[in-house]
Amino acid sequence: YGYAQRSKEMQRQIKKIIEDYILERQQMTCLFILVDSRHDPQKIDLEFMEWLGENSVPFAIVFTKLDKLSSAAAKKQTEKYRNTLLESWESLPPIFYTSSADMRGRNELLDYIEELNKLPLECE
């Protein structure tokens, strides 16, 4: 749903495909939103999360590329993100702090997915 160099019409079609998938995919128990940790909270992402909330779609946030920030900057940036979320959410979703370069957060994320996979699928 993010940035795409496409015509407005194509963007609309892609949006529809993504939304239909998210709402109709029965097997999906949690949606992971990957957020480049270097960026400030983006309107498009916050709106997407709001839409997920309205549609009762469980989600978690995965901060990526944390190796690209100093640990002080990473702390500051992710705290800013959490604070922005708390402006519109009562509580925070699960949040993972990761880097594919140094593998941080990998086990936490895999453990969480494993736990999710143990849950029974919700019936309609």
Ligand X SMILES: Nc1nc2c(ncn2[C@@H]2O[C@H](COP(=O)(O)OP(=O)(O)OP(=O)(O)O)[C@@H](O)[C@H]2O)c(=O)[nH]1
Contact set with ligand X (CB under 6 A): 34, 36, 64-65, 67-68, 99-101
Q: Tell me the closest approach of the beta carbon of residue 86 to ligand X, in angstroms.
A: 24
Residue placing its CB nearer to ligand X in the complex, 83 or 100: 100
Distance CA 77, CA 38 (A): 7
Task: State the minimum distance, in angstroms, from the CB of residue 110 to ligand X.
Answer: 15
Query: CA-to-CA distance for 74 and 100, rounded, in angstroms?
Result: 15
Q: Which is nearer to ligand X, 13 or 100 (CB)?
A: 100
Q: Among 32, 2, 51, 30, which Cα is nearest to 95's?
A: 32
Nearer of residues 68 and 86 to ligand X, judged by Cβ: 68
Strands lying side by side in the sheet with 95-97? 31-36, 59-64, 95-97
Residue least distant from ligand X (Cβ): 101
78 or 99: CB nearest ligand X: 99
Q: How far is the CB of 53 from ligand X (least distance, A)?
A: 23
Which H or E run includes 35? strand 31-36
